[in-house]
Amino acid sequence: MPESPIRSLELTLRSIRFAYAEGTWAMDVPSLSLGGDSLCAVVGPNGSGKSTLLKIAVGLLPPQEGRVIWNGVPVGGISRRLLARSLGFLPQESAPLFDYTVEQVAALGRHAYGAGLEATAPEDRAAVDCALDAVELTALRRRRLSHLSGGERRRAWIASALAQEPSLLLLDEPTLALDLHQAASVMQVLSARSASKTRMVVVLHDLNLAALFCPRVILMQNGRIEADDVPSRIFTRERLKAVYGSGVEVFLHPRTQRPVVQPAI
CATH number for position 74: 3.40.50.300
Among residues 165, 181, 216, which one ends one of the domains?
165
Separation of alpha carbons 207 and 222, rounded Å:
18
Residues 82 and 196 occupy one common structural domain: yes
Query: What pLDDT sits at residue 246?
Result: 79
Q: State whether 109 and 80 are in the same domain.
A: no
Q: Find the mean pLDDT for residues 161-168.
A: 95
* Domain contains 4: no
Q: Which of 165, 195, 211 is the last residue of a domain?
A: 165
Residue 3 covered by a domain: no
Domain boundary among 148, 165, 182: 165
Q: What average pLDDT does the segment 166-187 reach?
A: 94
pLDDT of residue 76: 86
30 lies in the same domain as 133: no
Report how many domains make up the chain. 2
pLDDT higher than 70, residue 2: no
Q: Within this chain, do residues 20 and 59 fall inside the same structural domain, yes or no?
A: yes
> Quick check: 117 pLDDT over 90?
no
Could you give the CA distance from residue 78 to residue 144 in angstroms, rounded to a whole number?
34
> What are the pLDDT digits (tens) for 29-71?
999 999 999 999 999 999 999 999 999 999 999 999 999 999 8
Percent of residues, the chain, with pLDDT higher than 70: 97
Which tens digits make up the pLDDT trace of 187-217? Answer: 999 999 998 889 999 999 999 999 999 999 9
Same domain, 35 and 149: no
Report whether 202 contacts 39 (CB < 8 A): yes
User: Does residue 241 sit in the same domain as residue 145?
Assistant: no
Alpha helices in the chain (DSSP H): 50-57, 80-84, 102-107, 122-134, 150-164, 180-196, 207-213, 231-234, 237-244
∠ at Cα 201 (257, 48), nearest 5°?
90
Tell me whether residue 2 is in a domain.
no
Same-domain status, 226 and 106:
no
Looking at residue 196, its pLDDT comes to 85
174 and 149 in a common domain: no
C-alpha–C-alpha distance, residues 129 and 191, integer Å:
19
Cα distance between residue 241 and residue 129, in whole Å = 44
Assess if residue 201 is contained within a domain: yes
Say yes or no: 249 and 129 in one domain. no
Q: Is 125 strand, coil or helix?
A: helix
Expressed as residue numbers, the domain containing 116 is 95-165
Percentage above 90 pLDDT, the chain? 77
Q: Is the pTM of this model over 0.75?
A: yes
- Alpha-carbon distance of 26 to 227, in angstroms, equals 17
- Rounded Cα distance between 30 and 66, Å, is 9
Examine the domain organization and report whether 67 and 198 are in the same domain. Answer: yes
Confidence of residue 249 (pLDDT cuts 50, 70, 90): very high
